[in-house]
Structure 1
């Protein structure tokens, strides 16, 4: 126990908590949006159990990753179709591809569902028709997909399992505290739910980009990077991702303010 109480481990813990907070934002956003598909009376319980189960499974995933990281790094096979599709495929590649496609499909499906709503002022019961267990399952699966990126990043900082597990538990507690507030905000400002779904769409694209370099990074061999029609699939940097998110948020805020101003001027013009 005393071996864990070192300045190095404390510094790593603080860094991991910061990392989990940054990488967990899109996860929290998804949880808040998806929980609204459950019956109103069960939404809080759905968020609670979805986060708790996801954190437990994330720790299990972390344990497996710490034990089997070398075995998972070896490519299962190497694609060799010159000029069409080339590169290595390992476990991380498969997870990132599946995760990216799953998240993109979820975001597009929810956006399409919004476009089918004829009257936003009517009863929302139709939108909240998913059984609670199904919503919890989706939250847990998506949390695991999101967590793969953060687990790999965390392992780059330290391989001390208790420190890694404690950071994940702290991030889970933070999500439990913030989830209700984020959901309440989205309920009052539903236009930001659309913004959130487009951010998730970008996250899916980011994961697909990570798939291109997964095998190459693991084996330190650039020849294993995925190439489609001769073009290397390069992951989007975290700086670019968060810059894109900030721009989207600013555009939405300015657009909302401009729309309110126009509506106020129109109402004033009709009165005169």
Structure 2
């Protein structure tokens, strides 16, 4: 335990907390959007409860991964020598693939509802009231899915340390990252609530998150389609796509305001001419 109080350990702890924050961005977005399905008065409670339970389960998952990591990585189903499809599934790849499919489904469903059923908001409140437990459940489950990469990366960062020090540092980082997520989740949700136009942007970012998880899961499963390997989307590419989406949204929003201002100016000019006649 003496390793905990060295400069190297403190730097490692800082890197672990930073890692939890960076890799938790997509999770944070999902929590903010998922919690909106709850009644307005319960949304903050849902976010806090979901992340709080997820912190506890993340620590349990940490113990499990440190003890059983070889079983998570061990293939249980494989297909080789096929020109169309090859794979080597393990528990880790299946969890990541399932998470990607679910997030894509959630994003597409919400975009579809936003386009077609937005006018039925008055009927939504009654259906939301009975779904709080389910919303918390999905927040916890998806938090665990997102936590796999962060925990595995943290294990790599702390490799070489003694077991007790490694476990302590990672537990502190998980708790600190969870508290940070609770604080930021309310801020992100409030921002989206006040700026409803960014909901579409958030949902498409969530869609990209799902695609990123699918590519990661396919890579972990050594998936080949028609002889071509599935390669994971890098974090650099992911953040670049997000920046592009945000820039497009900003430019489109300002251009739309400009068009509306020009339209209003033409209408006022037409009214003034009509009044002069």
User: Normalization by structure 1: what TM-score?
Assistant: 0.90
Asked if 1:25 is matched to 2:25, the reply is yes
Asked if 1:240 is matched to 2:246, the reply is no
- What are the superposed Cα offsets for residues 3-55 of structure 1, whole Å, 9 maximum, x if unpaired? 31122221211111111111111111111111111011111111110110111
Structure 1 residues 241 and 118, CA gap change in structure 2 (3 angstroms): closer
Specify every segment of 5 or more residues in structure 1 that has no aligned partner in the other structure, as ranges: 216-224
Structure 1 residues 77 and 128, CA gap change in structure 2 (3 angstroms): closer
Partner of 1:36: 36
Partner of 2:251: 254
The answer to whether the 8 A contact 1:79-1:87 is kept is yes
Asked if 1:190 is matched to 2:221, the reply is no
Using the alignment, how far apart are the partners of 1:190 and 1:253 within structure 2?
14
Using the alignment, how far apart are the partners of 1:182 and 1:230 within structure 2?
42
The answer to whether the 8 A contact 1:36-1:128 is kept is no
What's the secondary structure of 1:3's corresponding residue?
A: helix
The answer to whether the 8 A contact 2:20-2:177 is kept is yes
- What are the superposed Cα offsets for residues 204-224 of structure 1, whole Å, 9 maximum, x if unpaired? 111111123325xxxxxxxxx
Cα offset, 1:127, TM superposition: 7.7
The answer to whether the 8 A contact 2:78-2:88 is kept is yes
Using the alignment, how far apart are the partners of 2:144 and 2:5 within structure 1?
29
Cα offset, 1:194, TM superposition: 1.3
Structure having the larger proportion of residues in helix: 2
**Superposition pairs of residues 1-272 of structure 1, within 5 angstroms:** 1-119=1-119, 125=125, 128=128, 131-159=131-159, 160-214=166-220, 225-272=222-269
- What are the superposed Cα offsets for residues 182-226 of structure 1, whole Å, 9 maximum, x if unpaired? 1111011112111111111111111111123325xxxxxxxxx22
The answer to whether the 8 A contact 1:35-1:46 is kept is yes
Using the alignment, how far apart are the partners of 1:77 and 1:31 within structure 2?
32
The answer to whether the 8 A contact 2:3-2:9 is kept is no
- Say how many residue pairs are matched: 263
User: Normalization by structure 2: what TM-score?
Assistant: 0.89
Alignment RMSD? 1.9
**Higher Rg:** 2
Using the alignment, how far apart are the partners of 2:120 and 2:77 within structure 1?
50
Using the alignment, how far apart are the partners of 1:42 and 1:77 within structure 2?
43
Cα offset, 1:246, TM superposition: 0.6
Structure 1 residues 24 and 37, CA gap change in structure 2 (3 angstroms): same
